[in-house]
Chains A and B, each alone.
Chain A
Amino acid sequence: MIDSVCSLCVSSLVISVEGLPRPTIIIPEQHILIEGDDEDNPYVAKVIRLFGDGEFGEQMKAVVQWFVRVSEVPLSKLKLLGREPHPQEIFHYQGRICDDEVNVESILRPVQVTVACVHPKVLGHKMCTNITTDVKSIKFKNIDSWMSGHHLLTMLLLFQQIMPGTPRTPHQATPSIPCRSLPTRQPANILEEARARLHVSSVPESLPCREQEFQDIYSFVESKIIDGTGGCMYISGVPGTGKTATVHEVMRCLQHAADVDEIPTFHFIEINGMKMTDPHQAYVQILQNLTGQKATPDHAAALLDKRFNNPAPRKQTTVLLVDELDLLWTRKQNVMYNLFDWPTQRHARLVVLTIANTMDLPERIMINRVASRLGLTRMSFQPYSFKQLQQIIMSRLNKVKAFEEDALQLVSRKVAALSGDARRCLDICRRATEICEHSTTNPSATGLVGMSHVMEALNEMFSSAYITAIKCASMQEQLFLRAVIAEFRRLGLEEATFQQVFVQHQALCRLEGLQPISVSEGLAVCQRLGACRLLLLEPSRLGVLQRVRLNVSQDDVLYALKAD
């Protein structure tokens, strides 16, 4: 608080500050603290000039350059810094919401602001600041960090939103997830290393067992790029057979070849039917990837049409990968029609690679003209055989000895017999390493993942829990299931009403020597079984009249209920 204002000199101001014996002088270019809402965190500012306002110049005012503290900057903008801010750091404020003029009565005291040294060449994460501190003289240590030009620009953007007022639409929003405080640790032992390699996301540079398919797709796309023509290819296969991964590998190799000037340059775009909310969004995404423009679906379709249909001195071939093609189906099929029609134009230079799951998708869901434009260049990825799965795991592990031989064989055979899905295989192996690492009852003799661990993982991930659920159900629930089977046998049908089953249930209760239950309790038991989907029920508003079906086979129920 200022006790008294002593003079009206424009070049300097003398104030008395509480707690200091002598009056203090405030001059331009000095940093000061200004009274704010928070007593502990007053505003920081730099005096630009002092002047007298009002009729006779009696009201002293100061024009200031505001600074903002770290706490006042919104979190999302702080991330733009690219580094952790110092808690006492302040930034220039260049927005226009705040008034630059303040009454001198609100000045608290002067404050020291020191500049941090910044390595001139280094930016971003590696920026380091030397902080000078002076503990004794003042309570606050303020460091004004001067950014390089790049960051200063972002600072300008920051301050538009600081002062309270109506929130503005974030039209400069950048998508990002916040960063960790420390980077993750490296794997500590062999099993952790194996787990990291067996994760589905660590796709290797070159996929084993897909050499032939790689070669076919590579030669197809390469020839189109070199000739400067367009074309379509349809790739099919059940999930988990490496279709998308192979195409990515092809494009990586082609990109490398283009970088060393072996083939002309090209532009690679990728869209995915499942990652779109509507088939027409495909146009929006393609346009955005091609030219960076944002447009509505109809406008985007028109622009792309113009681009691909008109001859223009186009230099680059565009390679478009369409994943999950069946989701781009519309009733008139115009999205698919356009995607396959554009490559047929002479000057379009568009190569379209489409991926889906069923081999006969063109014949089943496409109308004739769309299917014919798709053409006959088709490739089918077969599910992996057990040898191939084994080879995939071995190549992933790549000399990390974590599995016993026969354990690997067991996993490969089991998965190959069921689906031939590589993801399934890798997940089971990963689970097996976890079981091996944390098992206290069955520790591995050799430190490797053995048959027992793999069998446990297989049981966990392949079994259906119906039998266990029936075994763990309460007595009345088990009786009810038996009553259901008894009623089905009596009627000779596969469905009955609750009322009929209840009669049987009461009879069974009497047989077992239990007290008969009320209808409400019976309904509750029935509802619980229906919630787990051991039984299939009609809506419960039908009360005692609802019909009941079994979701498990009768043999399974009887096996589970057999007295043990």
Chain B
Amino acid sequence: MSKRKVKDVHRPIGECITQVQQILRERFCHQQLPDRPEGLEAQYKHLLELLRRSAIQGESNSVLIVGPRGAGKTMLLQCVLRDLLQEKEAQKNLLQVHLNGLLQTDDRIALKEITRQLNLENVVGDKVFGSFAENLAFLLEALKKGDRSSSRPVLFVLDEFDLFAHHKNQTLLYNLFDVSQSAQTPVAVVGVTCRLDVLELLEKRVKSRFSHRQIHLLSSFGFSEYLQTVRTQLSLPDDFTDRGFAQDWNSSIQTLCEDKSVEEALQRHFNSSKDFRSLHMLLMLCLSRVSVSKPSIKPADLLDASRLCLCDAKANMLHGLSILELCLIIAMKHLNDVYEGEPFNLQMVHNEFKKFLQRKSNSMYNFEQPVVMKAFEHLQQLELIRPVDGSSAKTQREFQLMRLMLDHSQIMEALQKYPQCPTDVKQWAMSAFG
């Protein structure tokens, strides 16, 4: 294809937008791996060298990757594995076993899964034969027979590693670490967890066999790097089919990131959390407003998305309540103020509400007891109030003690925005005593 032909490719706008959506959604939702993990060079190098030594030289090792949620632990591991498996020798030899603490909740299930993934001889199709004891003995025997120079190395990846430490006797962990410290089949045990105190969970024998290598993903990058990340995440790659469109898009992203209000919104997000996952959620919300009629991201989009992300969840729910239920909530708030957070029951709330009604002469809100009870139950179903533990079965429902799960500020905020809120209700809420 001649160079001239490539330059003149112009696609219809709809096709471009579809492609943009596809590329960016791959990045935000489908956890597409970047070429190089940003800001994690030292950790990347450490992990790659370790796994390369295991795969190629047959050295047994164990390591833990520790970092807060959404920091990129799994992404780092996947990048390292992808780059490692590009070397032919590693690709031909390395056997992989992937376990997850949330899926394999028990050592029995974990063993069956290991046997199935390694495709040992007691597996036919998908079914593993034998009892728990037999599976364990079989696996240990298989690993014991191997040796460093002639067996294929096995990589064990344990996601949610801290959950494995809660299994009975930590049998699986003991055996995996024991194999990694004996002259048997070379294994590399990589644990991924978010708990900083994970070593305290290990029993002393298991802890002694673990090599105490930890790779911490604690990034100390500042706001300017964060802005840079936003820019690169939203930009289109160079090999986009319509060059002109890609250039326009990228320059619009540039202007977007230089906008003052956008910077403020991003600063708020950065102050709240630095991790990639929440950033992706925010950018995804912006992306969902891009369409053929509006083929770029405007600052208003980002501000809207930011507001969606940071708004209060419970305050929104209050907008859907009826006036009676709202009045009950306000009565509960007053009770909380007076009695300093002591639990209340329906009778107390109803009495408080009746006090308000007595002061006002209109009888519009004068509901019967069963109606008020129904409203109270609705509030309980929405989990805006919650019974105090213990007393649920024995007492009658009107006298069961409850606690309010809302904060003062949430109620006030909801009241400001409640559609067509009656003024006397609002005034009652603002006043100090009912």
- Find out whether the CB atom of B151 lies under 8 angstroms from the CB atom of A471: no
Whether B268 is near chain A, meaning CB under 8 Å from some CB there, is: yes
Whether A199 is near chain B, meaning CB under 8 Å from some CB there, is: yes
Contact of B213 among A200, A461, A520, A524 (CB under 8 A): A461
Whether B254 is near chain A, meaning CB under 8 Å from some CB there, is: no
A177-B151, A474-B270 given; A427·B211 CB < 8 A: yes
A280 and B196 CA atoms in complex are apart in Å by 37
Given the complex, which residues of A lie within 8 Å of B142, measured CB to CB?
175-177
Contact of A177 among B107, B152, B169, B195 (CB under 8 A): B152
A170 and B175 CA atoms in complex are apart in Å by 25
- Find out whether the CB atom of B124 lies under 8 angstroms from the CB atom of A169: yes
Whether B93 is near chain A, meaning CB under 8 Å from some CB there, is: yes
Minimum distance in angstroms from B415 CB to a CB of chain A: 15
Given the complex, which residues of A lie within 8 Å of B151, measured CB to CB?
177-180
Produce 1/0 per residue, A499-524, CB < 8 A to B. 10010001000000011011111001
- Find out whether the CB atom of A545 lies under 8 angstroms from the CB atom of B405: yes
Whether A469 is near chain B, meaning CB under 8 Å from some CB there, is: yes
- Find out whether the CB atom of A465 lies under 8 angstroms from the CB atom of B56: no
Contact of A170 among B129, B195, B207, B413 (CB under 8 A): B129
Look across to chain A and name the residue whose beta carbon is closest to the beta carbon of B123: A170
Produce 1/0 per residue, B92-127, CB < 8 A to A. 110100000000000110000000001111111101
A481 and B120 CA atoms in complex are apart in Å by 50
Minimum distance in angstroms from A256 CB to a CB of chain B: 19
A177-B154, A438-B45 given; A182·B89 CB < 8 A: yes
Given the complex, which residues of B lie within 8 Å of A83, measured CB to CB?
none
Minimum distance in angstroms from A348 CB to a CB of chain B: 25
Given the complex, which residues of B lie within 8 Å of A525, measured CB to CB?
272-273
A179-B150, A519-B410, A532-B68 given; A431·B213 CB < 8 A: yes
A167-B125, A438-B45, A464-B196 given; A201·B60 CB < 8 A: yes
Given the complex, which residues of B lie within 8 Å of A27, measured CB to CB?
none
Look across to chain A and name the residue whose beta carbon is closest to the beta carbon of B217: A472
Given the complex, which residues of A lie within 8 Å of B138, measured CB to CB?
173, 175
Look across to chain A and name the residue whose beta carbon is closest to the beta carbon of B57: A184
Contact of A469 among B68, B123, B211, B212 (CB under 8 A): B68
A181 and B272 CA atoms in complex are apart in Å by 51
- Find out whether the CB atom of B272 lies under 8 angstroms from the CB atom of A471: no
Interface class of chain B by DSSP: mixed
Contact of B150 among A183, A461, A506 (CB under 8 A): A183
Look across to chain B and name the residue whose beta carbon is closest to the beta carbon of A428: B212
Minimum distance in angstroms from B155 CB to a CB of chain A: 12
Whether B407 is near chain A, meaning CB under 8 Å from some CB there, is: yes
Minimum distance in angstroms from B184 CB to a CB of chain A: 8
Produce 1/0 per residue, B140-181, CB < 8 A to A. 111101101111101000000000000001010011001001
Whether A174 is near chain B, meaning CB under 8 Å from some CB there, is: yes
- Find out whether the CB atom of B407 lies under 8 angstroms from the CB atom of A499: yes
Whether A49 is near chain B, meaning CB under 8 Å from some CB there, is: no
Produce 1/0 per residue, B173-197, CB < 8 A to A. 0110010011111000000001111
Given the complex, which residues of B lie within 8 Å of A182, measured CB to CB?
89
A324-B205, A517-B310 given; A474·B150 CB < 8 A: no
Given the complex, which residues of B lie within 8 Å of A238, measured CB to CB?
204
Look across to chain B and name the residue whose beta carbon is closest to the beta carbon of A462: B212
A477 and B184 CA atoms in complex are apart in Å by 45
Minimum distance in angstroms from B130 CB to a CB of chain A: 9
Whether A267 is near chain B, meaning CB under 8 Å from some CB there, is: no
- Find out whether the CB atom of B146 lies under 8 angstroms from the CB atom of A468: no
Produce 1/0 per residue, A439-479, CB < 8 A to B. 00000000000000000000011101110110111111100
Q: Which of A167, A202, A274 is packed against the most chain B CB atoms within 10 Å?
A: A274
A524 and B311 CA atoms in complex are apart in Å by 12
Given the complex, which residues of B lie within 8 Å of A393, measured CB to CB?
none
18 example contacts (A-B, Cβ-Cβ < 8 A) are as follows: A170-B122, A173-B121, A173-B138, A175-B121, A180-B150, A184-B56, A185-B56, A199-B59, A423-B181, A427-B213, A434-B49, A474-B271, A476-B273, A499-B407, A517-B310, A518-B310, A518-B413, A532-B68
Task: Beyond the given A421-B208, A525-B273, please list 12 additional residue pairs across the A-B interface where CB-CB is below 8 A.
Answer: A167-B127, A173-B120, A181-B93, A201-B148, A239-B205, A239-B209, A275-B175, A276-B133, A277-B132, A469-B216, A474-B274, A532-B194
